[in-house]
Amino acid sequence: METRTLATEQKWASSGPVNYGQCWVFAGTLCSVFRSLGIPCRVVTNFSSAHDTNENLSIDTYYDYEGNNLGGDDSIWNFHVWVEAWMARPDIGSYYNGWQVLDATPQETSAGVFRLGPTPVIAVKEGDINMSYDCPFVFSEVNADTISWLYDEDTGDSEQVRSNRTSVGKFTSTKAVGTNSRADITSNYKYREGSAQERESYDNAVNQIYGRRAASTDEHDGRGRAAPAAVTFARNVRVKPATNVNLSAQFKDCDPIVIGQDVQLTLAVKNTSAVNKVICHFSAKSTGYRRRVMRNVVNDAVTISMGPNEEKEIPFTLPYSKYRDCLTDDKVLEVTALCKGDDNHKFLATKVITLESPSMIIKVLNKPVLNKPLNAEIIIENPLDETLNGCELSVEGSGLVTQQIKRTISLKPKEKAKVGLEITPYKKGSKQLQVVLSCHRMKHVKAFTFINVAEA
């Protein structure tokens, strides 16, 4: 597994395709290419990133009457990574000069080809989605509404049980200049959630989408794409939260959960009607960061008695023994609670949990000097009550390691192990040492440290 762009490009140049790449790999590679050409470029990560397949600016998710996620064409990824490149846009006007989105892992086709961009960031913020290229998709990634539906398999009918205007496009980030801290650039893509400007931008985007649906072609799109056809556009105003909610539920925030620990959640249920009984159907599934393929972990139901205007907290525990064999490499769990009152009012609550990796620490044991042996120690903790055999430890670092170092180790239950390492720095200055640990129970446990190599 390569962890550096240069190594990936060198391997591709010498032997062909490099396995395997995901969005952050492609984005890092494209960023390096742009910079090598003298074009300013930076990598951007968008959390809670929407994948809107039909350009209606909403993400629709369907559930059955036990709270099981039935999926749908739309989805919300835990994160997605693209790049911004600084460009002039004489084709659409100087107002749209500046940062342009380009996605090296395009999720949908544009004029029949998987590609995205350049999309002016300022056009996304203002809701000017007719500006070239692919602006509706990027707008949805950072600012789509989400709608949850209950689907009746017998009748084919759907019932809306939840909507949210603010859950998409969180902590849009890039690396800060000159430091390794995170720079939040969410405000470059949208106005503050709930502000008048944000609502105006969204309405502008909706009106332009509605106009595109009425036309046979998009007059502003330089690719001459046909306007989306046979797609139901159900609204030309922003989705409105229900005003007559008699029942509400929400999972409370919880501390980070390390893989191997039981998942312990609390569901806060509020009854604002005269119902006496509420049934909560819990469903837990294992999924990935794109939240597409899901494996069922557990289903449970709890019945509680509630008085009018009463609030109650319901504990939910998912033991490690239940989810251990279902986890994907991304270590993501989705817990859903569908609450139904005896007056047939329903409300849906969801909680997405990305399990934390165990700690791994790199200690440098002597002064780093150019072309002199440097000793380091890697401290690894096994949080599980089982032995981990065949763990692969990979070490890389430009200017520190000429070729990737690999070790195979075993970790006893709850062991905190120390692995010694000797390297010889071959370039001076600030360098980064990267360590990755992978085994069948824990994938891609990562750590890094900066090492300032002095002249001999």
Instruction: Provide φ and ψ at 269, rounded to 5°.
Output: -110, 135
Catalytic residue numbers, as ranges: 23, 80, 103
DSSP letters of 149-195? Answer: EEE-TTT--EEEEEEESSSSSEEEEEEPTTSSSEEE-HHHHSPPTTS
Strand pairing report for 75-87 and 429-438 = unpaired
- Give dist(CA 41, CA 83) in Å, integer: 7
Which residue's entry shows tokens 């998009």?
218
Task: State the virtual CA torsion across 190, 192, 196, 199 in degrees, nearest 10.
Answer: 40
Cis peptide before 133 (omega within 30 of 0): yes
Which residue's entry shows tokens 């981990």?
388
| Amino acid type, 305 | S
Determine the distance from the C-alpha atom of residue 260 to the mean position of all C-alpha atoms in its chain, rounded to a whole number.
Answer: 22
- Give dist(CA 336, CA 299) in Å, integer: 10
Three-class DSSP category at 374: strand
Which residue's entry shows tokens 């332009």?
208
Contacts of residue 446, Cβ cutoff 8 Å, sequence gap at least 6: 357, 360, 434, 435, 436, 437
DSSP letters of 266-279? Answer: EEEEEE-SS--EEE
Residue 398 is classified by DSSP as T
Neighbours of 326 (CB within 10 A): 16
